[in-house]
Amino acid sequence: MTRIGILGATGYTALELIELLLRHPGAEITALTTRQEGEPHVASVHPRLAGRLDLKLENLDTADLAARADCVFSCLPHAASAEAIVPLLEAGVRCVDFSADYRLNSPEIYAKWYDHQHPDAERLGHVVYGLPELFREQIREAALVANPGCYPTSAILALAPLLKTGLIRREGIIVDSKSGVSGGGRTPKLNFHYPECNENFSAYGVGKHRHMPEIDQYLSQAADGPVEVIFTPHLVPMDRGILSTAYSVPTGNATEADLKAALREFYAGEPFVRVVDNPPGTKDVTRTNNCHIAVRVVRGRVITLSAIDNLIKGASGAAVQNFNLMFGHPETTGLL
């Protein structure tokens, strides 16, 4: 039984993680933290957990956490997350970081997109990115895993195989993504206020979203050459789910069938990625750790459509999958 601590347990990804772990026979949640006052019971923060988990949210220091947990999941915001993780690693606690702190390899790129110097810059470039479909073996051994961003997961799973196999060009990739509102977190803000985003659809952060360099980095690795995507996120009036519609240019005369076959071969044996025939809806994968991918060729352009649940495959499910790999549980435990 692996003992689990969760940092910043008031938000949506933490709730999702708790619900997944409650079903996991090899994990026991032993510590939840918050910076809020008063040590609230977890069920007063998350009414869904009434009668299901009897823990308070506490303001714990590193020593307390290290004494109580073998694995810590950090749901803290960027910067705060790295600051909490560094001493935990030093205390021998293995960590999964939900924040963006350890996803980028370059401190300069991090500083440019996140507007501050990285508090643990020397570690950048030495942390595995928690996408098991690409980095399974490194994850098994890792003390620290950088859990991928939700949009990058949807984009990279669709495009990396086509870049690796050379079926599409590195240039001119457009990722037009659409996400449910839970992706914006649980802090009340006008743009996530119900009557503002209900019955509304809009783009945001056009050309400025922090997931853009993250997609670039891992697609560049896959392509073995620089990739710079045009990334446009949109907000969909629904709780959860991401669909990424990506446009790319084929290198040769590959047909739709060739592209589908390449994706199928790449994902053969993967427990959570399915290459499907019809354009997937986000509802096909909500509340699962699955990613559904379809591909079309239209007027000489390759269109991939990939759907995930932003809170599961895009966050907490991926984290459990990484945890399973790190601690020797079967990879799908708690996720089927």
Which residues from 287-316 bind a second copy, rule CB under 8 A? Answer: 287-288, 290, 292, 296-299, 301, 303, 305, 307
Rounded distance between C-alpha atoms, residue 33 and residue 12, angstroms: 14
Q: Which two tokens stand for residue 146?
A: 């950088």
Which is nearer to a second copy, 136 or 287 (by Cβ)?
287
SS3 245: strand
Binding track over 231-270 against a second copy, x by CB under 8 A? -x-x-xxxxxx-x-x-x-----------------------
**228 touches a second copy (CB under 8 A):** yes
**Residue 71 is a catalytic residue:** no
SS3 266: helix
Binding track over 101-140 against a second copy, x by CB under 8 A? ----------------------------------------
From 32-40, 73-81, 157-165, 226-234, span contacting a second copy (CB under 8 A) = 226-234
Q: Between helices 211-223 and 150-164, what is the axis angle to 10°?
A: 20
Map the footprint of a second copy across residues 36-65, applying CB under 8 A: 47-48, 50-52
Q: Which two tokens stand for residue 1?
A: 């039984």
Binder of a second copy out of 28, 58, 64, 176 (CB under 8 A): 176
List C-alpha distances in Å: 332 to 22, 130, 293, 328.
14, 15, 19, 11
Binder of a second copy out of 113, 114, 192, 327 (CB under 8 A): 192
**199 touches a second copy (CB under 8 A):** yes
Q: What is the DSSP string of 87-110?
A: HHHHTT-EEEE-SSTTT-S-HHHH
Binder of a second copy out of 63, 91, 206, 257 (CB under 8 A): 206
Instruction: Enumerate residues 6+ apart whose C-beta is below 8 A from 227.
Output: 163, 170, 173, 216, 219, 220
Residues annotated as part of the active site: 150
